[in-house]
Structure 1
Amino acid sequence: MDRATKLPDHKRRYLSIALLAAVLAGTQMLGAWRDGHALFINSSASLAHWAFFVESGQMPRKGDLAFFRAPQTALVSRHFGRTAPPFGKIVYGVAGDVVSRSSNIVAVNGKPVAMLKPASRFGERLLPGPTGVIPDGCYFMATPHRDGLDSRYADIGFVCRRQIIGTGKAIL
């Protein structure tokens, strides 16, 4: 490099400091973004996709795919371990909606959304989940899969705000 194109020392220092500040700011922004996002892998057949990009802290709306912590019931622990992984389900009902049951059909606001089975695929008795008006801060979550363990059963029931991890988008 010839002398005419070389930056003076003080300008090189300022440029180096500006570059360092930009790298630090970018690292902090990436860290903050990472703290609010996750990649979840679904190990069950209850959803059509197996990989999800999840934005944590987002409260779901009807039709959203939401991820939550399941209650640690005996059935959940037997199938998923003492610390069950997050569950991902579709939000079919929100606060104020009415969940009803007729025979083995579960409906939200009169629209059928799921079918009940009397027993799990391993023969364990499955108790029906709650019916009636969904309380404030709670959701009815299910999947179209016949073997889905979700709000249609008492072991999951209504999923409430404290259990919600966030909303997700299927990526694979």
Structure 2
Amino acid sequence: MTLAETQSPTAFWSPARRRRYLVYAAVGIGLVSLSQLARWSDDHALLVNATTSLPNWAFMIDRQRVPVRGDFIFFEPPPGPLLARHFGARPQPFGKIVYGVAGDRVEQHGRLFSVNSRPVALAKPATRFGEPLALGPTGIIPRGCYFVGTPHRDSFDSRYAAIGWVCRPRIIGVGRAIL
């Protein structure tokens, strides 16, 4: 009689051996999952909007997608004294809506900004702390740049010179609202 003939098939899967194989399987599945998550996070991110300027507070960011009109866009604000005073030395990313894309015409009539003759934003003369706000750029939006804003009256966006056009090097990605 051989050893295989003396052991029953159920003896092979003893509780200790079953646990060991389940741990191996769980570790393997976990490693594959982490690998896929790491690959996903190279092109994606989750961001939380801490302001009331956008209607949603959680966004999934796609870093590879090229923004189009109407998209939520997230970007690094430019350095400057006005932003540093109000948002700190390293402000969090800003989230806005793309109102104008390359080739669109931005015009200003008084403090009203329009894109392709469609009114999009009214600029305030000063911050809520009384600091004067210089008006943002007008004319044809350059290639790789965007005019961004939100309907919120206190939104700090392209209607002000401190933000201006938002161009590719500053863009983090296009957001999709998830909450």
Place the TM-score, normalised by the shorter chain, in its bin.
0.7 to 0.9
| Percent of paired sites with the same residue | 51
| Aligned-partner Cα distance in 1 for 2:141–2:101 | 6
Counterpart of 2:82 in structure 1 is 75
* 8 Å contact kept, 1:57–1:165: no
Write the distance in 2 (CA, Å) between the matches of 1:73 and 1:57. 27
**Residue among 42, 65, 71 paired with 1:64:** 71
Report whether the alignment pairs 1:36 with 2:43: yes
Deviations 1:26-53 (A, max 9, x none): 3211111123222212222211222222
Deviations 1:85-118 (A, max 9, x none): 0000000000000000111210000000000111
1:51 matches 2:58: yes
What amino acid does structure 1 have at the position aligned with 2:155? G
Higher mean Cα deviation, 30-39 or 99-108? 30-39
Aligned partner of 2:172 in structure 1 is 165
Q: 1:98 & 1:79 partners in 2: Cα distance?
A: 30
Residue 169 of structure 1: how far off its partner (Å): 1.6
Deviation at 1:21, TM superposition (A): 5.3
Deviations 1:116-145 (A, max 9, x none): 111011111001100000000000000101
1:170 Cα deviation from its structure 2 partner = 1.8
TM-score by length of structure 1 reads 0.87
Match in the other structure for 1:151: 158
1:64 Cα deviation after fit: 0.2
Residue 3 (structure 1) aligns with: 8
Q: Which structure has the greater CA radius of gyration?
A: 2
Matching residue's letter, 1:62? R
Would the aligned equivalents of 1:139 and 1:158 in 2 still touch at CA under 8 Å?
Answer: yes
Moved more, 54-63 or 94-103: 54-63
Name the counterpart of 1:113.
120
Q: How far does residue 6 in structure 1 lie from its aligned partner after superposition?
A: 6.5
Counterparts of residues 101-140 of structure 1 (less than 5 Å)? 101-140=108-147
Give the TM-score normalised by the residue count of structure 2: 0.83
Moved more, 132-141 or 39-48: 39-48
CA drift at 1:22: 4.9
Task: Name structure 1 gaps, 5 residues minimum.
Answer: none
Q: Distance in 2 between matches of 1:44 and 1:25?
A: 36
Mapped to 2, the partners of 1:48 and 1:21 lie a distance apart of 41
Question: How many residues in Structure 1 have an aligned counterpart in Structure 2?
Answer: 165
Q: Conserved in 2, the CA contact under 8 Å of 1:95 and 1:134?
A: yes
Q: Is 1:27 equivalent to 2:27 in the alignment?
A: no
